[in-house]
Amino acid sequence: MKLKQIILTIVTILSLNILFNTNVSADTLNYQENKKEQTKLNNTQQLNVQAALDYVNQWWDKRNPNYEKWDPNDCMNYVSQILKAGGIKETIPTTIQTSGIDTNKNYWYSKKQGNNIFTESSTWINVEDFHTFWSKTKKVITPDKLNIMKDIEVGDVVQLQKKSGGRYYHAMFVVKKDSETVYLTGHTNDREALDIRKIQGDNFRVIKFSNI
């Protein structure tokens, strides 16, 4: 009788162990699958350049009340708005905090919660965090490999770093390109179409959103 009880106990423990391990594996697979699907989505999203440029035309020197104002550091916020207007889909958590900045770098979004109450991800408004999020799925061209006229197209995001090094501190969006140069829009110092050649003393990092 005791032997049967021991065997039954062992079988029960083994069964629970197998079930537990199976569940862990399933959870892991689900997480990986969801991450894979999000990566696939971000990779396949195409920017509607004209819709993005229409947004620039309307808001380059104004502030959209549907988004929080981050002056005097509104540059990344503005560029994120342009991308959303151009059809780039936000990555939003299932549960959104009621206000403030969401520091989880796995999301990219901005949500108006009420009258002058907003929640946005740090990846939406912060230059380095934006890079952290999008570099997982978008091509990034670093300053040492960048050929401005060859590599930059309308629809791309350009981030600036002082030539002395350090963090990237500013972001702009490419609105025009001709045979000689490219032109950028940006907030903080509001610019509709700034010739990139007028930017002195900075390195450029490019995050590719153009469809070329």
Tell me: the pLDDT tens digits for 87-123?
Answer: 999 999 999 999 999 999 999 999 999 998 999 999 9
* pLDDT at residue 145, as a whole number: 98
pLDDT at residue 125 is higher than 50? yes
Closest residue by Cα to residue 209 from 182, 179, 163, 173? 173
pLDDT at residue 21 is higher than 90? no
pLDDT at residue 191 is higher than 90? yes
Q: What is the pTM of this model?
A: 0.81
- Express each pLDDT in 74-87 by its tens digit: 999 999 999 999 99
Task: Enumerate the H helices of the chain as residue ranges.
Answer: 2-44, 49-59, 75-85, 122-125, 127-134, 148-151
Q: Distance (Å, rounded) from C-alpha 125 to C-alpha 120?
A: 8
- Express each pLDDT in 127-176 by its tens digit: 999 999 999 999 999 999 999 999 999 999 999 999 999 999 999 999 99
